[in-house]
Structure 1
Amino acid sequence: MRNIFLLLFTFSAFQLAAQQTVTGKVTDTEGEPLIGVNILVVGANVGGITDFDGNYSIDVPEEGKALLFSYVGYAQREISINNRSVVNVELSSDAEALDEVVVIGYGTKKKRDVIGSVTTVKSESITKLKTTSFVDGLQGRASGVQVTSNSGVPGAPSTVKIRGVNSLSIGTDPLWIVDGMPIYSGSSLGATNGATSQDPMSMINPNDIESIQVLKDAAATAIYGSRGSNGVIIITTKTGKQGRGNISLDYSAGITELSRKPEEVGFTNTEEWFSLVETARRNSNSGQETPFDPNSILNLFRDDPIARLSREEALAVNTNWFGQILGQGNYQDLNLSGNMGFEKANMYLSFGYRNDNSVLTNNGLTRYSVRANLQFNPVNNLQVEARLNFNHTKNDRVKQQVGGALGNNSGGNSAGFGNANRNALPWYPIYNSDDPSGYWNPMSGNNLVAAIDRSLLVDEVSSYRGLGGLALEYSIPFVKGFSIRTEGSFDLIQANTLNWVTATLRENGSFASDESRLRRSINYNLYAKYNREFGRHALSITAGTESQEDNQELRLMEGQNLTGTYKEIGNPQDLLTLSGGLNYEEYLRAFFGRADYKFKDRYFLGVSFRRDGSSKFNEDYRWGFFPALSLGWVVSDEPFWGDNFLSSVKLRGSYGQTGNKNIPSNRFVTTYANNPDWRYGPSEVIQEGTRITNIGVPTLTWETTSSYDFGIDYGLWDGRVSGSVAYYFQDVTDLLLSSPLATSAGLEGNRIWGNIGDMQNWGLEVELSSVNVRRSNFSWRTDFNITTNKNKVVRLTSDLDRSGRGLINGNQMSRTGGRLWTYYMAEDAGVDPERGVNMIWEIDIDHFEATGETVKTGRRIPATLNNLQNHRIIHQDKTSVPTVFGGFNNTFTYKGFDLSVFFSFSAGDYLYDYEEQRTTDVQYGQVVLRKSLIGNTWTPDNPNARYPELRWQGAYPWSWDPEVENPESPTGKGDWVEASGNYKNETVNWTKYLYKADFIRLRNLQAGYTFPKQLVQRWKIQNLRVYVTGTNLWVYSPHYDGWDPESGGGVLPPLEIWSGGLSVTF
């Protein structure tokens, strides 16, 4: 008996020695313990759960090599034990785990299997930024993606470019996909009428977004064919989750202010304005005192004066127009959502409300949104998905158009922030008791208070947007891994614009316009999917067809001299416009396919194609074929790799083609128009006739982008540090370009479309994420990305290439061998220290005429109007396209506290400050003047000033004769002459006002506190968090001190936002 007992004891000891006790703690990403997490020993029938503090202890048999942690609502994790006795685990919620499953065209992939260039932006990154449109939240969050905020007006559009500019003259917007449907992302809802346009993307509620995937290379975008050349952004909205349902409430409210104040830019008051103007008059009149008479400009071009003001009356006024039209704005944002999941169904419902009261008086945007996403399995093998989203916005706009400088506001659109920058002088009064309206000179467009009076002007856009879709996917039961999916979806936008202006504000009498635009996009696709694994092989195939129809109906009525005071058109005495009908129509048909092969889970091969047919091209050139090939290799899974700090390394490369068709419809057809009011020949008799409005080019075809991408995805120290590095090169051929024709051609617009030219675009993308500290109570994570981008025009038209000159667009030029849209203007050479006039660098005009090259002679010449026009230089290193951009974020957590600090940056581009040019030139006293003129203009005692001597109407007693002989000149000609020179150059640009637009911006700062679950669960609450957020808090631009380096001068800059909020989940 004793021997048997010893034998059993010895066997038990061996058993105990063969197993190991592992303990640890399971928490969520915020460090809170998770209760009841299931733990399974992989390879053994042993398990356990965590206690109320998230702790666990489990005996692991000898065959157990890993632990599998699973919890409802969280992504499961498998962790190798590696002879450790303590294994602490952090679980991510399903939403956080989405970056492990990447949404691609017509499907999904595991992140590990992706060999294209795809970046995921999580929903919390978008919602932290408390702006109206979620698009602003992408700025600096993803490599290769450049987002520019064009204005601080609520709902204003932002510009999005992926991997730079890929076209010369047609749209560069990416393709936007929401839950599988291509949606409209144009720049405007409704007519602008002198106001800031509204971005259609502002109608989408950011809180409904689960994740955003940015597809950048051809391996990812070629399956979208003709729509993928500018990249693709896929938005996935939230769905119900299996398990316990919940209701979430998120509410935030805040205040908005200008991120840069008018006093920081610096505008003169009345006393300073008069001092500068009268100094200019004195300098131009041989020192004689010539007091300024306000009436000399109030009615300069009018025979019937509508306003009069004496000098004494003007000096007694000091109106701060910015103070009159600007104030502190505010917003409220409320979002209520619920989700519930069952065994065979789940649903997500949401309601959103946002109200933005702008810093501009009487300007605001209100948005309502509802969403219902439903997924269910009515029968075995059939999955049904239904998604419906309805949005309504009401946009009360104010005019922003600059104009009406001299009392003439015929269109009624001149007002707002633009005129406060330029034409609303500080000595203009606001009120006048003698005027029936009570306002002083309201018809000028420069009485900005009158121009925002809602009893005198209304400008409203009421928009409705419906996004919906139904998808059915059937898994064939007798073919494992094979399914067929069909999707039908729609995007409907109805925008009603009402513009009403009384005769008090408008030179040509009262005016109203009532416009209705209905834009419809219907999309249908049918495709089959096959996914199987055969031992060490895995194969995934997708093939299908797609059809899309887009059209727009426009109905417009305009009238003036309205009867009565109704804001609708009613019965006008003068009906200007009455029109309606289908003004836009386009069709797209496509066939597509993709095959992905994987061997040993580390060798990857992908091929895809798409064949698109578009109604925008002639029948013989209608179809385009867009293939792609990609390869990948997880090197770190090779046996030779071993264990080292580089825990994960994946090499990937791709080549493919995408297309671009973003041109107006029917450009391949010659079109005509009739008009009874055209004049023909030398006669002044008005005759009815017909003329060509477009010369058809039947050979127009696709603009094609061939893309090459080479990258490496890496992870260090078991994912403690991760990221990617990628090089991209894009070769764009058959550029679709609207090129100019001679005026004598008699063509409307004098332009013709064609496939004219080629260009290239290349750069480097770097992404880096680092968990710097991860402890039980404290963590610190850093995310960083940076992108470089350069481009080159390879070919233009034969005529332009032979001359060496390029395609000119205002003050920018694109030419063969150079960068896209380089600045083309005279180069500033300071102020002449002897004469006090602006100077520029002379170029060799003969050499330019012969070769198209601009070469400086080394001589400075005065900046007369003729010299500015004739001595323009091609500045190859100065363009409006950034060469470097990106962002970095630091996130800290301590117990229940969290802090995130996000910066975005951009460098390498230039901006032209038109407003500074116009407001640092006295001209004839009709413009606002900058404070920077004070003490910074040329005098005999200040010969090195930035600005020239103040002169009335640019009248200097020195001029420049380019033909006079001058033996000291490099060209043998050209010298000063004593004659009045034309320096009225306020509208001709030169580099004096061209600035580097480099900046770094504190884009977002958020601090929050999440209450302990043990506490809030007593109140029947699952989660409770409060937070404070700041947006656009600081910007540093070393070279530019105007309004904003991103939006430039003259438009409302990005707003500084301070807000507080709470998030509750029941």
Structure 2
Amino acid sequence: MRHFLFLFLLLLSAHTYAQRTLTGQVTDTDGEPLIGVNILVKDTEVGTITDFDGQYSLRVPENGKVLVFSYIGYASEEVLIGTQTRIDLKMSTDAEALDEVVVIGYGTKKKRDVIGSVATVKSEDITKLKTTSFVDGLQGQASGVQVVSNSGVPGAPSTVKIRGISSISIDTDPLWIVDGMPIYTGSSLGASNGATAQDPMSMINPNDIESIQVLKDAAATAIYGSRGSNGVIIITTKSGKKGQGSITVDYSAGLTEPSRTADDIGFANTEEWFNLVETARFNSFGGEEEALFDPNSILNLFQDDPIARLSREEALAVNTNWFDQILDQGNYQDINVSGTKGFEGGNMYVSFGYRNDNSVLRNNGLERYSVRSNLQFNPFENLSVETRLNFSYTNNDRVKQQVGGALGNNSGGNSAGWGNANRNALPWYPIFNSDHPTGYWNPMSGNNLVAAIDRDMLVDEVTSYRGMGGLALEYQIPAIRGLSLRAEGSFDLLQSNTLNWVTASLREFGSFASDESRVRQSINYNVYAKYNRDFGNHGISLTAGTESQSINQQLRLMEGQNLTGTYKEIGNPQDLLTLSGGLSYEEYLRAFFGRADYKFLNRYFLGLSFRQDGSSKFNEDYRWGTFPAVSAGWVISDEPFWNNRTFSTVKLRGSFGQTGNKNIPSNRFVTTYTNRTDWRYGPADVILEGTRITNIGVPSLTWETTSSYDAGVDFGLWDGRVAGSVAYYQQNVSDLLLASPLATSAGLQGNNIWGNIGDMSNWGVELELNSTNIRRNDFTWTTDFNITTNRNRVDRLTPDLDRSGRGLLSGNRVSQTGGRLWAYYMAEDAGVDPERGVNMIWEIDIDHFEATGETIKTGRKIPATLNNLQNHRIIHKDKTAVPTVFGGLSNTFKYKGFDLSVFMSFSAGDYLYDYEEQRTTDVQYGQVVLRSDMIGNTWTPDNPDAKYPELRWQGAYPYGWDPDVENPDSPTGKGDWTEATGNYKTETVNWTKYLYRADFLRLRNLQLGYTFPNEMVQRWRLQSLRVYLTGTNLWAWAPHYDGWDPESGGGVLPPLRMYAGGITVKF
């Protein structure tokens, strides 16, 4: 053994002696250090990168002859080593290298050649936010892209819109492409029982993403035809790098918490609650005895359970903060290990990722495992093979957020969660009761939130498996230079299993369990030819091919009642589940596409594209649609007459094209029926068996078509120190797919019929700016800014709707011809009457509305009775839930090894209705949580200018209103107060008292990092080492709204604040 060790050390010392150390500095032509320059000993895997001073140190092996220097935006250089021990180098910029490659539909282009509207989001801008789903990280990153974080629950779906809303009633999500594969992005992973759905995109590891391109105008999206009207987002995952192999480990961990607390909102404690309720009772009934509130008067609404009863004194002795009971400190851990390797004729990238999110909601968490393998190699001359495989697994332990959603269709049981803490879980409800078999007080009421998240009493778990992958073969035709054939096959397989189980202690009708299994499979094939060739001053790029996609989805639902064991015993002989439902669904798409691009003198550009799609969602006679596009560009700054030194580059571009939308349920063109054995007609006890129409088929149903116009300017100032683009866009959507309401007498389930009815338009301006503000010695400061404006208009609806002028109504919103899409439709608040202490609204001219559909105020205030709120609704044409302005601002500072990035996002022009505030600022009959803001802010004779009306029991005030009585002082000649008791039960009817502008400015991310110097990490046998601290959603300013969050409102857990730290090591 000693001899072997001696021989090993001797060989090692000989090898070390044969190596020598080479040092130097790399700068630009102005002498400024270049950080992160790649330096590789040619024909070896030995290399390094420069530090923040541009310095490097490298041990050169005996066979090392040449150093290769490469850096983005600079021309690569090779330097002979010879006998030198120090090599300093000044690198020059390279116009070709500066022109980055942009991924487009079925190919790539140099950015200079792109004449469509395409935005690029860098992977590091996504990963620094440390979110579960990378979709959240897109907010504010690119012009034209609006991202709304709907919830702070791990993996919750976000809403993504590109250039506004392009349809009135169907899905407006963009098409997502991962490595050439259209993928499923729906939110069907367990969206049931009051729990938040999981976004399938959360199953993709953000650390595997190389780049994201957003295609916005028709010149870029028409190649995707019927799937491109909402924009296209192309995700390219990482590939192997040539040269030295490396392994990168990134670990981060952090703490999460709600960005606002219950104390910020202000909820009444038990004493305050009783004071408010009993003041209302005293004002209504007049006597102190009658004013006393009996807790059992509302407990008996849920169930007649003697154990659950409470005296007034017992209730006053309880003061439960339900937010403290259901919330905890959240945390996460995220570890990613990836390896990249280049070899002769190919490269590979492999990765493993693990993330564990423990939510701030107790017993709620999401765990994800992911693996990826990307391989590219050339087995033969002119043949390239690419394989990309990704497998992921998530386990989502869920809790309820919304009010209701009881398992087993039991509206009286276990409807607990964030929504009930905001609304129904009163502060005097106890948590525990030793007399109850479970140890909990009144668990079946649904308002003991601790009982409802006890995993011994309720389980709500979603396990999901996803596999995505593809194989691509590309062959360069030797006989025809520039011609290649490419064949791609890819799959997206998603399986989810949702297990729900609730014990009999939470459910009046006994225990219940369900097991739902969903399998969705998508297979995609592309075969196309590409021809790229330059002929002197001319350049041609041609693409033509065909695509085929098949989608199959299956659902199986098993249920069981009155089970004897826990969820772990489900499947045992005594606890079997039986099949209760299921479906099988298939969809097919076939397409032919082509694109031709021409350039002259590298400054004049012309592009043409077309696609013809056939979809099984439409009848044979209307199945095919054709979607063309044309675009042109001119780099005017390359003209001989251009001598503007400020604008160093200017490119004019414009496009027109058409895309489609087919996102409707299948089989809408045929009439469908359902058979049931439990139809109820007439008396409640009459149950019949029969067949009923579920859909009236419309054979002529066909595509929505979006005609898009885009005109823009891409520019660079002061030799690229500032770069940007500005564009105007307009989208005209025709043949809107709309589910129009039918009369109830039609006997159609859902009372709707689909049709191509109506038109709308959508327009705005986008601006992007990127600047290098300071680049001096060791310090740089760069800024990225984008802003988008967006407006829309309904141009036409059904003849009946247009004739009446009333528009299409959906809840508290309406769409009218000539107005904005889904404008708020509700009575307008007029404050509190200083004499009577009741809520007031503005009166409208009802006769004028009946005749024209136009709502005009008469100028008179009338009481907010239930009837008046319903009859005097106003169409607020400029108030919708869609922002008119949104964007982002990022500043990055670098000094030596330190880097600091500050990213802010903003949105303005949209409105938010706060349902929670409406329901908790009205005493009603004592069944709701109340806001502490009411204390001292309700009307009394001594406080006539109060924010809230006089406290009254069940909304009954001694001031009635007769709309038909003659009144010569009224603008309409009728309507006046009466002495009868008025019905002011307004908790379920919306009006603008609770409608707020949702403008916000959010500090989305703050990150401070430090990269260790090369000479230090090389002593540790590392390639690089970086540590960082990061914070997400650290601060938000909403000048018009003081609720939970201006994006999500209060009905669901708002986006969370995060504090985290991490380390990235490269070996």
Counterparts of 1:401 and 1:730 in 2: how far apart (Å)?
A: 36
C-alpha spacing 1:495/1:870, structure 2 compared with 1 (3 Å): same
Q: 1:798 to 1:390 in 2, by over 3 A?
A: same
Alignment length (residue pairs): 1014
Say whether the 8 Å CA contact 1:98–1:211 is kept in structure 2.
Answer: no
Q: In structure 2, what is the equivalent of residue 960 of structure 1? A: 961
Give the Å deviation of 1:300.
2.8
Q: How does 1:615-1014 map onto structure 2 within 5 Å?
A: 615-642=616-643, 644-680=645-681, 685-1014=686-1015
Alpha-carbon separation, structure 1, partners of 2:31 and 2:218: 37
CA contact (8 A) 1:492 1:520 kept: yes
Q: Assess, with a 3 A threshold, how the Cα gap between structure 1 residues 28 and 613 changes in structure 2: closer, same or farther.
A: farther
Q: Give the equivalent residue in structure 2 for 1:351.
A: 352
The one-letter code sitting in structure 2 at the alignment partner of 1:427 is W
List alignment gaps of at least 5 residues for structure 2: 1-24, 43-48, 57-66, 78-87
Change (3 A) 1:115 1:285: same
Provide the aligned C-alpha RMSD in A: 2.5
For 2:102, the equivalent position in structure 1 comes to 102
- Give the structure 2 partner of residue 398 of structure 1: 399
Check 1:787–1:181 CA distance in 2 against 1; reply closer, same or farther (3 A cut): same
Distance 1:304 1:322, change over 3 A: closer
Q: Secondary structure at the match of 2:506?
A: coil
TM-score, structure 1 as length reference: 0.92
Any idea what SS the aligned residue of 1:244 has?
A: coil
Counterpart of 2:222 in structure 1 is 222
Structure 1 equivalent of residue 258 of structure 2: 258
* CA distance, structure 2, for counterparts of residue 470 and residue 799 of structure 1: 52
The Cα of 1:166 is off from its aligned counterpart by 0.3
Structure 1 residue 31: Cα displacement:
4.8
What's the counterpart of residue 546 of structure 1?
547
Equivalent runs, 1:579-618 vs 2, <5 Å: 579=580, 582-618=583-619
Go from structure 1 to structure 2 and tell me whether the alpha carbon gap of 1:136 and 1:656 turns closer, same or farther (over 3 Å shift).
same
Show the 5 A alignment for 1:132-143.
132-143=132-143
CA distance in 2, matches of 1:340, 1:144: 37
Q: Which residue of 2 aligns with 1:454?
A: 455
Q: Is contact 2:660–2:704 with CA below 8 Å preserved after alignment? A: yes
What SS is found at the alignment partner of 1:1040? coil
Q: What residue in structure 1 maps to residue 416 of structure 2? A: 415
Matched, 1:126 2:126: yes
What's the counterpart of residue 157 of structure 1? 157
**Which residue of structure 2 aligns with residue 16 of structure 1?**
none
- Which has the higher mean CA deviation after the structures are superposed, 560-569 or 913-922? 560-569
8 Å CA contact 2:519, 2:554 repeated in 1: yes
Task: For 1:477, give the aligned amino acid.
Answer: P
State the shift of 1:319 in Å: 0.4
Cα deviation, 1:987-1038, whole Å, max 9, x if unaligned, reads 0000000000000000000000000111111111111100000000000000
Residue 373 of structure 1 aligns to a residue whose secondary structure is strand
The answer to whether the 8 Å contact 2:140/2:786 transfers is yes
Cα distance between partner residues in 1 of 2:928 and 2:851:
41
Residues 50 and 192 of structure 1: CA distance in aligned 2, closer, same or farther (over 3 Å): closer
- Cα deviations by residue, 1:639-673 (Å, 9 ceiling, x for unpaired): 11135111000000000000000000000000111
The equivalent of 1:13 in structure 2 is none
**Equivalent in the alignment of 2:69:** 71
Q: 1:891 to 1:404 in 2, by over 3 A?
A: closer
Q: Which residue of 2 aligns with 1:10?
A: none
Secondary structure in 2 matching 1:879: coil
CA contact (8 A) 1:919 1:930 kept: yes
- Contact kept, 8 Å, 1:828 with 1:841, in 2: the verdict is yes
* AA of the residue aligned to 2:271: E
Matching residue of 1:509: 510
Letter in 2 for 1:167: S
How far did residue 24 of structure 1 move? 4.7
- Judging changes above 3 Å, is the alpha-carbon distance between structure 1 residues 836 and 488 closer, same or farther for their aligned structure 2 residues? same
Distance 1:435 1:887 in 2: 54
For 1:771, what is the secondary structure of its paired residue? strand
What is the alpha-carbon distance in structure 1 between the residues aligned to residue 376 and residue 297 of structure 2?
72
The separation in 1 between residues aligned to 2:51 and 2:875, in whole angstroms, is 71
Once residues 927 and 555 of structure 2 are traced to their aligned partners in structure 1, the CA distance between those partners, rounded to angstroms, is: 39
Alignment check: 8 A CA contact 1:562 1:571 kept: no
Q: Distance in 1 between matches of 2:574 and 2:864?
A: 50
Task: Describe the SS at the equivalent of 2:641.
Answer: coil
* Deviation at residue 52 of structure 1 after TM alignment: 12
Verify the 8 A CA contact 2:501 2:514 in the aligned structure 1. yes
Per-residue deviation, 1:401: 2.7
1:26–1:34 CA contact under 8 A, matched in 2: no
CA contact (8 A) 2:307 2:435 kept: no
Counterpart AA for 2:589: L
**2:268 corresponds to which residue?**
268
Which digits, 9 at most, give the CA deviation of each residue in 1:858-910, with x for residues without a partner? 00000000000000000001000000000000000001000000000000000
Amino acid paired to 1:129: L
When residues 847 and 54 of structure 1 are mapped into structure 2, their CA distance, relative to the original with a 3 A threshold, is: closer
Provide the secondary structure at the position in 2 that maps to 1:372.
strand
Give 1:182's aligned residue: 182
1:402, distance to aligned residue in structure 2 (A): 0.7
**Secondary structure of the equivalent of 2:877?**
strand
TM-score by length of 2: 0.92
Q: 2-side partners of 1:70 and 1:90: how far apart?
A: 14
Specify the alignment match of 1:44 in structure 2: none
For 1:43, the equivalent position in structure 2 comes to none
State the partner residue of 1:5. Answer: none
Between the aligned partners of 1:413 and 1:708, the Cα distance in structure 2 is: 52
**In the alignment, what sits opposite 1:480?**
481
Instruction: Tell me if structure 2 keeps the 8 A contact 1:615–1:622.
Output: yes
| Structure 1 equivalent of residue 1049 of structure 2 | 1048
Q: Tell me by how many angstroms 1:72 deviates.
A: 4.8
Distance 1:627 1:687, change over 3 A: same
Residue from 4, 10, 32 that aligns with 2:35: 32
Instruction: Determine the C-alpha separation between the residues in 2 that align with 1:504 and 1:337.
Output: 48
Q: 1-side partners of 2:128 and 2:303: how far apart?
A: 53
1:3 aligned residue = none
Amino acid at match of 2:640: P
**C-alpha distance 1007-483 of structure 1, shift in aligned 2 (>3 A):** same
Q: How far is 1:50 from its partner? A: 10
Task: Give the counterpart letter for 2:594 in structure 1.
Answer: G
Distance between the aligned counterparts of 2:174 and 2:145, measured in 1? 10
Please say which of residues 939-948 and 483-492 is displaced more in the overlay. 939-948
Give the C-alpha shift of residue 51 in structure 1.
Answer: 13
Query: Are residues 359 and 35 of structure 1, via their aligned partners in 2, closer, same or farther at CA, if it must alter by over 3 Å?
Result: closer
Matched, 1:326 2:335: no
Alignment partners' CA distance in 1, 2:169 and 2:51: 63
Q: In the aligned structure 2, how far is the partner of 1:358 from the partner of 1:730? A: 40
Counterpart in 2 of 1:147? 147
Partner Cα distance (1:99, 1:455) in 2? 60
Q: Secondary structure at the match of 2:285?
A: coil
* In 2, Cα distance between equivalents of 1:507 and 1:99: 67
> Following the alignment from structure 1 to structure 2, what is the Cα–Cα distance between the partners of residues 766 and 483?
37
Aligned residue number for residue 337 of structure 1: 338
Aligned mates of 2:470, 2:920 — CA distance in 1: 53
In the alignment, the residues of structure 2 paired with residue 336 and residue 1031 of structure 1 have an alpha-carbon distance, to the nearest angstrom, of 23
Which amino acid letter does the alignment assign opposite residue 138 of structure 1? L
Q: Is the 8 A contact 1:404 1:446 kept in 2?
A: no
Letter in 1 for 2:505: T
User: Residues of 1 paired with 2:293 and 2:191: CA distance?
Assistant: 41
| Offset of residue 579 of structure 1 | 4.3
> What's the secondary structure of 1:794's corresponding residue?
strand
Alpha-carbon distance between aligned partners in 2 of 1:300 and 1:30, rounded to the nearest angstrom: 75
Seen in structure 2, the aligned counterparts of structure 1 residues 948 and 91 have a Cα distance that, compared at 3 Å, is: farther
The answer to whether the 8 Å contact 1:381/1:477 transfers is: yes
CA distance in 1, matches of 2:71, 2:546: 35
CA distance in 1, matches of 2:287, 2:30: 81
